[in-house]
A and B are shown apart, each in its own frame.
Chain A
Amino acid sequence: TQLLEQSPQFLSIQEGENLTVYCNSSSVFSSLQWYRQEPGEGPVLLVTVVTGGEVKKLKRLTFQFGDARKDSSLHITAAQPGDTGLYLCAGDTTGANNLFFGTGTRLTVIP
């Protein structure tokens, strides 16, 4: 059973384009996190959102937590080749040791 579904699974875009990645679930999460993972490395935390409707910005990345705390989105403005990587969302239902990860979105930004 996959608690968190991410879409799209793969995304290839040109440098300068905008994109949105979605993370959806039927479960309610107390918090939701986004990670970026590069080949041969572990995931690196980008942001944690905890309040329904919360929007956080990290330079060109905008993260939103759904009002019902069941879904989240990541929007990247003017993508750059350095944004290439695997983006993972992870939801926390009962504490940090019960993190459920999405299947990931593999982003490639072409120069």
Chain B
Amino acid sequence: NAGVTQTPKFQVLKTGQSMTLQCAQDMNHEYMSWYRQDPGMGLRLIHYSVGAGITDQGEVPNGYNVSRSTTEDFPLRLLSAAPSQTSVYFCASPTGLAKNIQYFGAGTRLSVL
């Protein structure tokens, strides 16, 4: 998980609350991504960014917002948390010639009650 830092590691929210999951990378990578991991579902892409000021939707973007004001940071926002958003969230930063070498953070375990 070297180079990708996620905070917090654990979070409990009530339905309707908002919060921001932080992700920072110190590898000067252009690409950053957010995934969620649910039992039996594998990891699914939420949003991604190909550089500062540029973001796009992944497979499951509903209920999440992102922004990329700097190369280093890629926060994920939940504006009104729902129990269906209970999951483990991973930030990743791909690199390599084909952008197929993924570095993952340690994850944020979120529970929405």
A interface residues, Cβ below 8 angstroms from B: 2, 4, 9, 30-31, 33, 35, 40-45, 48, 50, 88, 90, 92, 95-104
Cross-chain contact B104 with A42 (CB below 8 angstroms): yes
Cross-chain contact A92 with B42 (CB below 8 angstroms): no
The 9 residue pairs across chains A and B that have the minimum distance between CB atoms: A42-B104, A96-B99, A101-B42, A96-B94, A101-B43, A97-B48, A103-B42, A96-B100, A43-B104
Tally of chain B residues near chain A (CB < 8 A): 29
B53 within 8 A of A: no
**What separation, in Å, do the CA atoms of A36 and B33 have in the docked complex?**
19
Q: How far is the CB of B40 from chain A (nearest CB, A)?
A: 6
Q: Which of A44, A48, A96, A100 has the most CB of B within 10 A?
A: A96
Q: A43-B43, A97-B48, A103-B40 are in contact. Are A33 and B94 (CB under 8 A)?
A: no
**What separation, in Å, do the CA atoms of A45 and B106 have in the docked complex?**
13
B interface residues, Cβ below 8 angstroms from A: 1, 4, 31, 33, 35, 40-45, 48, 50, 56, 58, 90, 92, 94, 96, 98-107
User: Which DSSP category, helix, strand, loop or mixed, fits chain B's interface?
Assistant: strand
Cross-chain contact A40 with B107 (CB below 8 angstroms): yes
Cross-chain contact A2 with B42 (CB below 8 angstroms): yes
Residue from A33, A50, A98, A103 within 8 A of B102 (CB atoms): A33
Residues of B close to A103: CB separation below 8 A? 40-42
Q: How far is the CB of B29 from chain A (nearest CB, A)?
A: 11
Closest Cβ neighbor of B95 among chain A residues: A96
Q: A31-B100, A33-B100, A43-B90 are in contact. Are A98 and B45 (CB under 8 A)?
A: yes
